[in-house]
A and B are shown apart, each in its own frame.
Chain A
Amino acid sequence: DAKTTQPTSMDCAEGRAANLPCNHSTISGNEYVYWYRQIHSQGPQYIIHGLKNNETNEMASLIITEDRKSSTLILPHATLRDTAVYYCIVSEDSSYKLIFGSGTRLLVRP
């Protein structure tokens, strides 16, 4: 079973920041938080991952709470092409199987 809880769906306006929350209250000390997204039946796309510290790359930022029980993926300026299902996955190592939960369906509105 997935170790994460995410809202079923969210929406935001184009050009605004999209903040996607994820709860992972049972995360263990050596587990990472990974974010992937899937755009309409395409292969899941890696976005970002982190262990303790906040992370940023060209796609998004990942904010992890100090107790590591939750995190937020931030898309700073959402575009229509960001409409997708976003999966938050907890895994000791990306070399292990990824267990996908239900994810959050993000709709970016014009």
Chain B
Amino acid sequence: AAGVIQSPRHLIKEKRETATLKCYPIPRHDTVYWYQQGPGQDPQFLISFYEKMQSDKGSIPDRFSAQQFSDYHSELNMSSLELGDSALYFCASSSLSGITDTQYFGPGTRLTVL
């Protein structure tokens, strides 16, 4: 079965640079979620979108922004990167209008800020 796709899988950036992470949800899923997992920590919710509108917001820094496009894929834009932004970033998707609304996670993007 098709899964959530994230790209790139690995990304290395310098401090103060920008980064863009992409998420392609499972086909026919209309909701996307972003989570951040720092080294040795548990995943933390950042932000979610339903039908291209922001549906919830967690502890997402102001330097980060995200959006969901008409094809339901989502992008997380991160500016003025800091060393502390080094983490795994997971995207999950679900279908609020489908049979199940269970969240399914992608493999993640590992961001390293030098």
Contact = CB atoms under 8 A, between A and B. Distances in A.
Contacts of B90: 43-44
A46 B104 CA distance: 7
A30 B31 CA distance: 21
* Chain B interface size, under 10 / 10 to 19 / 20 to 34 / 35 or more: 20 to 34
**Majority secondary structure of chain B interface residues (helix, strand, loop or mixed):** strand
**Majority secondary structure of chain A interface residues (helix, strand, loop or mixed):** loop
Interface in A36-67: 36, 38, 41-46, 49
* Chain A interface size, under 10 / 10 to 19 / 20 to 34 / 35 or more: 20 to 34
Given A95-B94, A97-B45, A49 B102 contact: yes
Contacts of A49: 102
Interface in A74-98: 87, 93-98
12 contacts: A34-B102, A41-B110, A42-B107, A43-B108, A94-B94, A94-B101, A94-B102, A95-B31, A95-B94, A98-B35, A98-B92, A101-B42
